[in-house]
């Protein structure tokens, strides 16, 4: 069943239930994105698990969110349970080997994995507005706040920095309005109140330094397997906007930071968006358009994006059209919306003369799916009714003790666990922003080339691009200060930037990309 250059998904069956053939996802089309859909309990998470296993074994790092905690088992050896053995036999998977995978656990709250942070500056106005569910007026004010900060080359570290800048804007609203456009004091006030709410909801944990370096989710082991980064999302799901914004931010970072690679033999990274409907639920039109754009363009950076959701209608048409590899588990068809979903799902497949897709979709068993992947020159294969393979790793969660063990030997251990004190954190951000500004300019002139690999740890390897590994946030003063930079209060700096009299913080204005991340 196992073939070079392909991930084995499962085995399809003929109308008489006899074995038809193995169904595969070709690695060279792994960056052509995918969609896993189906009602609750139909097998989506297990499908995600076996795909993540396949990518990891092929040396492709994977990022996924663990919404219910059951994906953590991917870090442990599978167990020969009866129903799994039965499935293996049904599909002719012989031998059915068990395996544990190299996992890195992440958690915005730092409880079930390594901390993940970013800064306000790096998140940018578009995603921050989304996070706050800002009105148009509020978004206008936020845009001005970032304009003042960016043009002044003034990086914003955390919610407090943004609060300070907003204070300043409120106090000097009429003056600033002349230069930057209308600033309503009422909107400033309402944003400030929203920020307080965000803080109370725990979003403050997420803003600060050391910020996540994407190279840390792109590690491979020395035996050539891709690290599987698992984000603990059970608690995070209680704040769906933070969940969605975080994932979009990560996507945006990947997009801005990774070099162009065209269509590689296999992806550089695969990104699974579980509960993808949360990304698009009442998201403003511009945001959806930008996401569509990033999904389209990120392919040539070698990143595959896989959306996992209950209903194909959860994903906007323009995004749906980008998703080449499709695994459709069972759907119900009671309500009109459900019936429409079945029809949409059925219509998107390249038909199989042996069956009617819409009929089959409502009759698929657990762990069974309609599968169509890209083949040949990149066209979708004829859809096949497929029994998905059982995972090689454990089906079900790790115990707390097992999880802790994984965290203890993690290659990023110690890199993210402590908050930086504000001064050194601010300095790091300023340095990175300066570098980003520089590179954005340099990029216009020179063509980017991937740098050489650098090693991190004994078992793990870091990809070689982006920030250099020596800048890992392990020592607070690892490097001399850049260009005599000195920490100032936001007030002072903002004042200066408004007056446009003094040298800027990072030398140059910050440049933002499609989703508003700092451009590299």
Ligand X SMILES: Nc1ncnc2c1ncn2[C@@H]1O[C@H](COP(=O)(O)OP(=O)(O)O)[C@@H](O)[C@H]1O
Binding site for Mg ion (CB under 5 A): 44-45
CB of 313 to Mg ion, least distance (A): 18
Picked from Mg ion, ligand X, none, the partner binding residue 220 (CB below 5 to 8 A depending on kind) is none
Q: Tell me which of 6, 13, 32, 44 binds ligand X, using CB under 6 A.
A: 44
Residue 90, interface with ligand X (CB under 6 A)?
no
Distance CA 102, CA 224 (A): 11
Q: Tell me which of 4, 17, 18, 40 binds ligand X, using CB under 6 A.
A: 40
Q: Which stretch binds ligand X (CB under 6 A): 33-41, 399-407, 429-437, 448-456?
A: 33-41
* Residue number, nearest CB to Mg ion: 45
CA 475 distance to own-chain centroid: 27
DSSP string, 29-85: GGGG-EEEE-STTSSHHHHHHHHHHHHHHTT--EEEEESSSGGGGGGSB----HHHH
Residue labelled with tokens 């609750």:
40
Specify the residue, 229 or 309, whose C-beta has the smaller distance to ligand X.
309
DSSP string, 107-150: ETTSSSSEE--B-HHHHHHHHHHHHHT--HHHHHHHHHHHHHHH
Picked from ligand X, Mg ion, none, the partner binding residue 38 (CB below 5 to 8 A depending on kind) is ligand X
Strands (E) located in 143-205: none
CB of 472 to Mg ion, least distance (A): 34
Specify the residue, 328 or 504, whose C-beta has the smaller distance to ligand X.
328
Strands (E) located in 322-452: 325-328, 368-372, 374-375, 379-380, 384-388
Residue 82, interface with ligand X (CB under 6 A)?
no
Number of residues binding to ligand X, judged by CB under 6 A: 15
Specify the residue, 41 or 414, whose C-beta has the smaller distance to ligand X.
41
CA of 99: how far to CAs of 22, 57, 105, 136, in Å?
A: 21, 10, 18, 51
CA of 38: how far to CAs of 65, 131, 234, 260, 359, in Å?
A: 17, 27, 20, 33, 14
Picked from ligand X, Mg ion, none, the partner binding residue 43 (CB below 5 to 8 A depending on kind) is ligand X
Residue 78, interface with ligand X (CB under 6 A)?
no
Residue environment code for 152-164, b if the CB has 16+ CB neighbours within 10 A, otherwise e: bbbbbbbbbbbbb
Residue 38, interface with ligand X (CB under 6 A)?
yes
Q: Give the footprint of ligand X on residues 337-396 (CB under 6 A).
A: 366-367, 388, 390, 395
CB of 44 to Mg ion, least distance (A): 5
Distance CA 15, CA 19 (A): 10
* Residue number, nearest CB to ligand X: 367
Residue labelled with tokens 């300019």:
441
The alpha carbons of the chain give a radius of gyration, in whole angstroms, of 24
Distance CA 12, CA 456 (A): 41
Picked from ligand X, Mg ion, none, the partner binding residue 304 (CB below 5 to 8 A depending on kind) is none
Residue 163, interface with ligand X (CB under 6 A)?
no
Residue 45, interface with ligand X (CB under 6 A)?
yes
CB of 351 to ligand X, least distance (A): 24
Residue 76, interface with ligand X (CB under 6 A)?
no
Specify the residue, 364 or 407, whose C-beta has the smaller distance to ligand X.
364
- Positions that interact with ligand X (CB under 6 A): 38, 40-46, 84, 87, 366-367, 388, 390, 395
């Amino acid at each position: 069943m196992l073939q070079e250059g392909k991930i084995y998904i499962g085995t399809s069956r003929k109308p008489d239930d006899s074995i038809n053939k193995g169904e595969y996802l070709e690695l060279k089309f792994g960056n052509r994105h995918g969609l896993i859909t189906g009602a609750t309990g139909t097998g989506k998470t297990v499908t995600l698990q076996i795909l993540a296993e396949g990518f990891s074994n092929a040396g492709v790092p994977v990022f996924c969110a663990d919404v219910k905690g059951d994906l953590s088992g991917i870090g442990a050896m599978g167990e020969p349970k009866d129903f799994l053995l039965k499935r293996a036999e049904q599909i002719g998977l012989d031998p059915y080997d068990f395996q544990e995978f190299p996992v890195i656990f992440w958690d915005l709250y730092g409880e079930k994995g390594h901390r993940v942070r970013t800064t306000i500056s790096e998140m940018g106005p578009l995603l921050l507005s989304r996070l706050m569910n800002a009105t148009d007026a509020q978004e206008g004010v936020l845009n001005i706040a970032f304009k003042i900060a960016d043009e002044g080359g003034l990086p914003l570290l955390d919610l407090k920095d943004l609060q300070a800048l907003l204070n300043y804007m409120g106090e000097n609203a009429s003056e600033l309005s002349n230069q930057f456009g209308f600033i309503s004091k009422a909107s400033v006030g309402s944003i400030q109140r929203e920020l307080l709410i965000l803080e109370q909801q725990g979003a403050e944990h997420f803003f600060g330094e050391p910020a996540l370096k994407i190279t840390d989710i792109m590690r491979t082991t020395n035996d050539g397997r891709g690290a599987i980064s698992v984000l603990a999302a059970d608690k995070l799901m209680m704040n769906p906007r933070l969940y969605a914004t975080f994932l979009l931010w990560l996507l945006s970072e990947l997009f801005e930071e990774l070099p162009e690679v065209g269509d590689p033999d296999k992806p550089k990274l695969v990104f699974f968006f579980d509960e993808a409907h949360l990304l698009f639920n009442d998201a403003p039109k511009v945001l959806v358009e930008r996401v569509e754009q990033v999904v389209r363009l990120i392919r040539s950076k070698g990143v595959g994006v896989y959306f996992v959701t209950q209903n194909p209608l959860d994903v906007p048409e323009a995004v749906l059209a980008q998703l080449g590899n499709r695994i459709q588990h069972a759907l119900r068809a009671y309500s009109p919306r459900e019936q429409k979903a079945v029809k949409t799902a059925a219509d998107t497949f390249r038909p199989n003369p042996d069956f009617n897709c819409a009929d089959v979709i409502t009759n698929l068993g657990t762990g069974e799916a309609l599968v169509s992947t890209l083949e040949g020159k990149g066209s979708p294969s004829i859809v096949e009714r497929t029994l998905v393979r059982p995972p090689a790793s454990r089906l079900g969660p790790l115990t707390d003790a097992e999880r802790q063990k994984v965290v203890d030997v993690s290659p990023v251990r110690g890199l993210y666990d402590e908050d930086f004190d504000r001064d050194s954190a601010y300095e790091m951000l300023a340095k990175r922003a300066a570098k980003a500004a520089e590179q954005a300019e340099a990029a216009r002139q020179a063509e980017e080339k991937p740098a050489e690999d650098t090693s991190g740890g004994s078992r793990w390897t870091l990809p070689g691009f982006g920030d250099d590994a020596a800048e890992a946030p392990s020592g607070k003063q690892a490097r001399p200060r850049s260009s005599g930079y000195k920490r100032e209060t936001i007030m002072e700096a903002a004042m200066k930037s408004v007056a446009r009299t003094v040298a800027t913080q990072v030398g140059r204005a910050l440049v933002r990309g499609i989703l508003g991340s700092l451009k590299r």
